[in-house]
Structure 1
Amino acid sequence: MSEALITKQGVYPWLLAARPKTLSAAVTPILISTILSYHYSLIGNYKNIIFLSLLALFSAIFIQIGTNLINDALDFKKGADNENRLGPKRVTQSGLLTAKQVMMGGFLSFLISVLIAIPLVMHSGLPIIIIGFVSLLFGYLYTGGPYPLAYKGLGEIFVIFFFGLVAVGGVFYLQTGFLNTAALIAGLEVGLLATVLISINNYRDYLEDRKVSKMTLAARFGARFAKYEILFLYISTYTIHLYWFMEINFWTAFLPFLTLPLAIKIVKEVFQQEPSSIFNKYLGMSALLQLIFGILFSIGILIG
C-alpha cells in the first residue's frame, strides 16, 4: 500500500464515498429477515438471533461500502463521473481521493466484511461461504471486470437478487436452517424497493451515461422507459405485499401500506421533473421509504 488511506482531509472523503444515505439497502433486509426468523423459528435463543443478525448486518454494510467505493473509482476511470455530473459529489472525480486510494479502501472494506462473517460461517457452514463469496465477487463485478453489470443494463437484476433475495433469504437461513416462501417473498419486496434507488440514479444520469457507453436500462431505452420502470417497481412491491394478508396477520400486511403516499409522491415528482440534481432528493426519499417500509413490516409481525 503505497498511498495512505487517511489523507489531510481526514475521514470526511471516506464518509462521502461510503454513500450513507444508500446504506438502508443493507439495513432493511437484515431487519426484516431477523423478525421473520423470530416468527418462524422454534428456537427461543433470542440473544443468539440478535448476535448473528448484527454480524450479518455489519458484514453486509461493509460489502455495500466496498461496492460503492469501487464504483466511485471505476466510474471516474471510465468517464461516467465527470464535471457534468448531476448526482452527489464523488470523491475520485472531485479530487478528494485518488482512484488508487478508493480502490484500496473498497478491497479493505471487503476484507473487513469477510472477517466479520467468520462466526457466521462457523455457525452455518458452506451455504454462508457461497453466499459471501458470490456477494463479494459481484460487488466488484458491478462496475469492474471485463463485463461490468452496471454498464450492461444488469444493475437492476443485481440489486433485486443480492440486496433482496440473497440478503433476506441468507439471513433467514442463517437463523432458522431452512428457507420458505415467506422469506423469498419478503426478499423480493425488499429487492424491488432497493432497485428504485438505482433506477432513479440511472434516470438522472442517463444522458451522460450514454456518452461513455454506460448502457443502463435508462440509457438504453430512454426517459419514458425509466419513468415507467420506477412506477412498475412500486406497483409490483405493493401488489406482492398483499400476500401477507394470507400468510401472517392483518398488521403485517397493512402497516407497510402507510408508505404508499410517499411512493406516489416520488413517482409523481419523477414523472413531472426533467433529470437534474433534484433527483438526489428523490433518491433520499426512496431510501427513507424502504427503511420505513421495513420497520413497519417488522412491527406488524411483532404485534400480530
Structure 2
Amino acid sequence: MSTTTSIKEELNEKGGFQIWWRLLRPHTLTASIIPVFVGTMFALTGHHINILLFLAMLLASILIQTATNMFNEYYDFVRGLDNEKSVGIGGTIVRDGISPKKVLGLALSFFGIAMLLGVYICIESSWWIAAIGLICMLFGYLYTGGPLPIAYTPFGELSSGFFMGTVIIGISYFIQTETLTTSVIWLSIPIAIFIGGIMMSNNIRDLDGDKENGRRTVAILLGRKNAVRFLAAMFSSAYFLTAFYIFAGVLPIWSILAFLSIIKAADVIKKFRGKTKPLEMMPAMAATGKTNTLYGLLLGVSLLVSNFF
C-alpha cells in the first residue's frame, strides 16, 4: 500500500465532488459565515435589514475565504511545503492530481465573483466598501502569497482575526445601517479572537512541519505546550469580554446564551493536550471551528431574541 493511499484512507478522503469540497476547506468556513451573521444581527437590533444585502455579503465573504484557502493550497505546493503526507490541506494537488494552475485559476475566479457581488453591495450602500473589500482580498492573497506570506510570520492569527472578524462584522453592520458605532467594534473583538484561535489551532497541529520549513508562527515561538495554554487564554479572554459587554450594556442579557459554547472550547484544549502528531490533533482543530460556530450562532440568536423581549 502506498503512502498516499494510506494517508487518504486515514483522512477518509474520497474522489469525485469531494475533491473540490475539500479544496474549500469547509471546516474553516465558520470564519467567514459567523462574522456576517453576527454583524447583521447586531444591525437588526435597531434597524430593518435588507435580506439581499445580507446574502450578497455572506456569499462574498465565503468566496474570499475559499479563494484564500485555494491560494494557500497553491503557494504551499509551489514552495514545496505540501506533499502527499501533509495533513490539514485539501490535498487536491498533492494527493488528487489536480493541476496547480487550475486551483490558482479557480481562486482568481472566486475573487472575481466576490468583486461582482461587491459592486452590488456598493451600489446599495457606499463605494467606500469597495476600497475596504479590495484591502481584505489583498490580505487574503498575501496570507500565503507574495514574497513574505503572513501565514509564515507571528502575525497570522492577528491578521485573520482582524480582517475576518472585526472588518467583516463592521462591513456587515454598516451596509445595513449606513453607520458604524464603537459598540460594533467592541462586539467584534471576541469573534476576532475565536477566528484567530482557528488559525492558532491550525498552527499548533502543523508546528513540526512549519518549523522545518522555516515558518515563524506564534505556535513555533511559544512551543506546543505553551501554544495550547495561549489558545486557552484566548478563549478565556473572549468569554471575559462577553461577560463585560453584557454588564456594560453593549450586549443584551440574552447573550448569556453564548456561554454554552464554553463546553466546546474546553473540549478543544482537552483534545490538544498530550498530542504531538497532526492526525491526532485533527479532532481538536475541528472542535475549534465548532467553538466559533456555536459561540457566534448563540450570540447572533441572542441579538435576534433581544428584539422581541
After TM superposition, the score normalised by the length of structure 1 is 0.90
Is residue 13–residue 97 contact of structure 1 (8 Å, CA) maintained in 2? no
Instruction: State the 1:88 CA deviation.
Output: 4.7
Is residue 203–residue 275 contact of structure 1 (8 Å, CA) maintained in 2? no
Q: 2:259 aligns with which of 249, 257, 269?
A: 257
Q: 1:302 aligns with which of 301, 304, 309?
A: 304
Deviations 1:160-203 (A, max 9, x none): 11111101011111111111122112211111111111111111
Is residue 173–residue 180 contact of structure 2 (8 Å, CA) maintained in 1? yes
Distance 1:65 1:31 in 2: 17
Gaps of at least 5 residues in structure 2 are 1-14
Is residue 25–residue 90 contact of structure 2 (8 Å, CA) maintained in 1? no
Distance 1:82 1:216 in 2: 20
Aligned to 2:268: 266
Aligned to 1:108: 109
Q: 2:25 aligns with which of 12, 15, 19?
A: 19
Aligned to 2:7: none
Q: What does 1:61-80 correspond to in 2, within 5 Å?
A: 61-80=62-81
Deviations 1:13-37 (A, max 9, x none): 2211001111111110111111100
Deviations 1:120-143 (A, max 9, x none): 111222320111100111111000
Aligned to 1:280: 282
SS, match of residue 86 in structure 2: coil
Percent sequence identity over aligned pairs? 28
Distance 1:221 1:84 in 2: 25
Instruction: State the 1:81 CA deviation.
Output: 1.4
Is residue 169–residue 184 contact of structure 1 (8 Å, CA) maintained in 2? yes
Distance 1:75 1:137 in 2: 18
Alignment: residue pair count: 290
Instruction: State the 1:241 CA deviation.
Output: 0.5
Is residue 201–residue 279 contact of structure 1 (8 Å, CA) maintained in 2? no
Aligned to 1:37: 43
Is residue 192–residue 234 contact of structure 1 (8 Å, CA) maintained in 2? yes
Q: What does 1:1-304 correspond to in 2, within 5 Å?
A: 11-41=17-47, 44=48, 46=49, 48=50, 50-242=51-243, 243-247=245-249, 248-252=251-255, 254-304=256-306
Taking structure 1 as reference, are residues 133 and 184 closer, same or farther at Cα in structure 2, changes over 3 Å only?
A: same
Distance 1:57 1:96 in 2: 31
Gaps of at least 5 residues in structure 1 are 1-8
Aligned to 1:6: none
Distance 1:21 1:148 in 2: 22
Is residue 36–residue 301 contact of structure 1 (8 Å, CA) maintained in 2? yes
Is residue 269–residue 284 contact of structure 2 (8 Å, CA) maintained in 1? no
Distance 1:69 1:296 in 2: 30
Distance 2:247 2:254 in 1: 8
Distance 1:10 1:300 in 2: 40
Instruction: State the 1:260 CA deviation.
Output: 0.7
Is residue 28–residue 294 contact of structure 1 (8 Å, CA) maintained in 2? yes
Distance 2:96 2:78 in 1: 12
Is residue 190–residue 242 contact of structure 2 (8 Å, CA) maintained in 1? yes
Distance 1:176 1:166 in 2: 15
Distance 1:90 1:153 in 2: 25
Is residue 268–residue 285 contact of structure 2 (8 Å, CA) maintained in 1? no
Deviations 1:63-108 (A, max 9, x none): 0010000100111121221244232542122143121111111111
Which is worse superposed, 103-112 or 88-97?
88-97
SS, match of residue 61 in structure 1: helix
After TM superposition, the score normalised by the length of structure 2 is 0.89
Letter of the 1:181 counterpart: T
SS, match of residue 94 in structure 2: helix
Distance 2:271 2:17 in 1: 34
RMSD of equivalent CA atoms: 1.6
Is residue 80–residue 214 contact of structure 1 (8 Å, CA) maintained in 2? no
